[in-house]
Structure 1
């Protein structure tokens, strides 16, 4: 793949809020916390996890006094910066969940992920949230023999866990979406396109209207049993729920808990009808590939391509770049790959580039937990699969907080214990080595029929 120099629209923006928020206009942050407060439940973080938890708690127990504390504005983090994949994919591997809870419990977790897609769609319909949702499924393409072999193996292995995906014939693949160089593809119905900004803003509005107070521009410096400490006051509560995902490392004592990993995106200007006639994509399927240094994309409701992948993956010391500025080489790499997939997009221009931070546990598997003795709870570590998983987390946290056992509270990710990441410089060296090896493996596999050993070495280094 050769590097192509992108062109930019006249009003191109790099960083700050995502395109999703920009397309809706600047948000108007709610007032900050003003003094000490008492609540039944305080939630730290007004992204999808925090908002879904508040939503389901309030509907189960309308009398609950729930407070949400947010450093910026609702949806500022990964919830407003993601690729818009409402997908049934698990964070981590089925094998790791099954190691502690068995095959059947892991199959139930997979089915709950699939059900959560429809749950989000149903709630949006019921609450009047227009998030550009189209359940068009997901298409994963292989470009080369090595990727095709991995794709076939993945589809075959997935059946053990209840993963519903099928290999497409060349004719079926071309009828859905024509990707240059694709030699194999799989398709699953279990994925929907969303507009992340519309979903998070709509959900925040519904939560506020239910009586939940959301205090914005209110950073939380410390989380302790029954209290969340901010510069503007302390909120004491029976339960303190951490819903901070990639920003968890910024909280006192949690620097090595979850690795803050960056992912980057670009979005084109609206593309002409002639482009869509050439490539298809009429079903608004989500698009992924089988490269180690993978990509993800969607066709937006207004006819753009939103295209993402790994940029500068990790900053030393678990630092977080909250403003989302994307390096020039990352923009060029994403653009080159986009045009490599869709040569007809070459005349287009980039309208916006941004980055976001996601949370990665040491074993790459999500967790949800509530400790009734301390009142501390959390959910996260979604490793880029959070749009759907947050909904399942919100419903599970509801049942755990209310101490009401349910099928959700017995799922394998509940109470999962994961060791912390290594101290620096080991984690910086490990993550950057992993991605260098993945890039090298992808380059080698262009002339190979099997997976490069470099990718296996990368997996061993970080436990991916």
Structure 2
């Protein structure tokens, strides 16, 4: 792809003050202490925490395209403490205290991302206005109440998760048909590509070498093989998230599921006066088929969600990043939430893949014997989570962990592989169909979907 073509990846790429010119590719064999495959959030946060802890560590990052090409540059811009695995599930594996500590670390990570960005001069449009989850039917309202009560049972009070009535929701955002909702302060709106590109420059200033337009064709403990040379390293970090199935031997490790987005033109002050979101609070309603939105720094609404199909064989292809049916659905949902947008022009439509492990449980691990490390499987909740993962991987690699990050519930675990095809294709797409059907049923009846509840119970959530 040309630098101009990279601008077409998303709204974020299109509007960034960056020429997106690729860095030089690897041209010969290379020896370093740590080789990282993937110049997204996970890889760059790992590099950042390695070299800030020990400036003498030699780190090289190998990237097939350019930094921020994948989900790190295309996501919805929610730097949140959301985690795809429930506290109940984490406690079942590692104990109640470990589960609570994991959630607390995620709470702490959100402002930490903003603090580090400010220190490094990264203007990623960070604004911690919290996250608003709106209930627009009785089933959603029941679920919101249960979620807030569940967090309270783990010791998280109204300062962490607060139940709202319809009037309190309207004070934040004038979402149509709102019956109530919840709000948590543990989320910030960001421009994601500004953050990832800024991180790349921050690690380069500290001596990290980034080789772009360089494909890792084989990854093992001790080496990364590319068409241009082999990188030999004591530690190798696989930080490829939804692109993990494209790495040799890892087809069933992660399911790449596409999430698509759309964005409006910059809105007038008159429209914003009717919508609200003055503090750039991120927002969604409480449907099962996830949607997510934010008010951008330049006054647009960027809005995305699930609904795109999983493609047979864990195939990853640029053609899957745009789906007219799904983009139309997203625009319709946004207009349902904010009818005042009915005459607004939508200027951008894009998408990208995210990594889903078989059990919906992200992992961070480092094999001391081989030196091979991995972090990922964030199921779309990866902005802050990857920052914590990078800090954790750096502690594991350096064998220096005063914070006890390696004892958090996701550390050292491996999700079992996805089923072989066609079972994987049938299963993943069946989940999308179940969630879509559950939302339709709940809108019609106001009663919680038994099918959706059965699914979450089946995977232990």
Q: 430, 433, 441: which one pairs with 1:433?
A: 430
2:338 maps to what in 1?
342
Residue 449 (1) aligns with residue 446 (2):
yes
Q: 410, 424, 432: which one pairs with 2:421?
A: 424
User: Does the CA-based 8 Å contact 2:42-2:239 persist in structure 1?
Assistant: yes
After superposition, give the CA deviation of every residue in 1:188-226 in whole Å (9 maximum; x if it has no partner): 111101000111111111111111000000011111120
Q: CA RMSD in A?
A: 1.6
After superposition, give the CA deviation of every residue in 1:290-342 in whole Å (9 maximum; x if it has no partner): 10112100000111000000131311100012466311111110010010101
2:44 maps to what in 1?
51
Q: Which is further off, 190-199 or 89-98?
A: 89-98
Q: 93, 98, 109: which one pairs with 2:91?
A: 98
After superposition, give the CA deviation of every residue in 1:54-97 in whole Å (9 maximum; x if it has no partner): 01100111111100000000010000010000101112211221
Displacement of 1:460 after TM fit?
Answer: 6.0
User: Does the CA-based 8 Å contact 1:129-1:198 persist in structure 2?
Assistant: yes
Q: 114, 122, 126: which one pairs with 1:121?
A: 114
CA distance in 1, matches of 2:311, 2:37: 23
Residue 21 (1) aligns with residue 13 (2):
yes
Match of 2:36, SS state, is strand
1:415 maps to what in 2?
412
User: Does the CA-based 8 Å contact 2:6-2:20 persist in structure 1?
Assistant: no
Match of 1:168, SS state, is strand
Residue 246 (1) aligns with residue 239 (2):
no
User: Does the CA-based 8 Å contact 1:435-1:458 persist in structure 2?
Assistant: no
1:353 maps to what in 2?
349
CA distance in 1, matches of 2:121, 2:384: 19
Q: 266, 273, 288: which one pairs with 1:270?
A: 266
CA distance in 2, matches of 1:147, 1:15: 38
Q: Which is further off, 170-179 or 99-108?
A: 170-179
1:89 maps to what in 2?
82
Q: Which is further off, 212-221 or 85-94?
A: 85-94
After superposition, give the CA deviation of every residue in 1:381-422 in whole Å (9 maximum; x if it has no partner): 011110001110111111100111332111111001211000
Displacement of 1:457 after TM fit?
Answer: 4.4
CA distance in 2, matches of 1:461, 1:61: 44
Q: 291, 305, 311: which one pairs with 2:307?
A: 311
Match of 2:26, SS state, is coil
Q: Which runs of 5+ in 2 are unaligned?
A: none
User: Does the CA-based 8 Å contact 2:36-2:238 persist in structure 1?
Assistant: yes
Match of 1:211, SS state, is coil
User: Does the CA-based 8 Å contact 1:20-1:197 persist in structure 2?
Assistant: yes
User: Does the CA-based 8 Å contact 1:109-1:412 persist in structure 2?
Assistant: yes
Displacement of 1:171 after TM fit?
Answer: 2.3
After superposition, give the CA deviation of every residue in 1:74-127 in whole Å (9 maximum; x if it has no partner): 010000010000101112211221111101111000000011111111101111
1:10 maps to what in 2?
none
Q: Which is further off, 66-75 or 162-171?
A: 162-171
User: Does the CA-based 8 Å contact 2:8-2:14 persist in structure 1?
Assistant: no
User: Does the CA-based 8 Å contact 2:281-2:294 persist in structure 1?
Assistant: yes
How many residue pairs were aligned?
452
Normalized against structure 1, the TM-score is what? Answer: 0.95
Match of 1:297, SS state, is strand
- How do residues 19-418 of structure 1 correspond to structure 2 at under 5 angstroms? 19-24=11-16, 25-163=18-156, 164-322=160-318, 325-406=321-402, 407-418=404-415
Match of 1:123, SS state, is helix
CA distance in 2, matches of 1:197, 1:320: 21
> Are the structure 2 counterparts of residues 119 and 228 from structure 1 closer, same or farther at C-alpha, using a change threshold of 3 Å?
same
Q: Which is further off, 274-283 or 246-255?
A: 274-283
CA distance in 2, matches of 1:252, 1:159: 44
User: Does the CA-based 8 Å contact 1:307-1:334 persist in structure 2?
Assistant: yes
Match of 1:312, SS state, is coil
User: Does the CA-based 8 Å contact 2:307-2:432 persist in structure 1?
Assistant: no
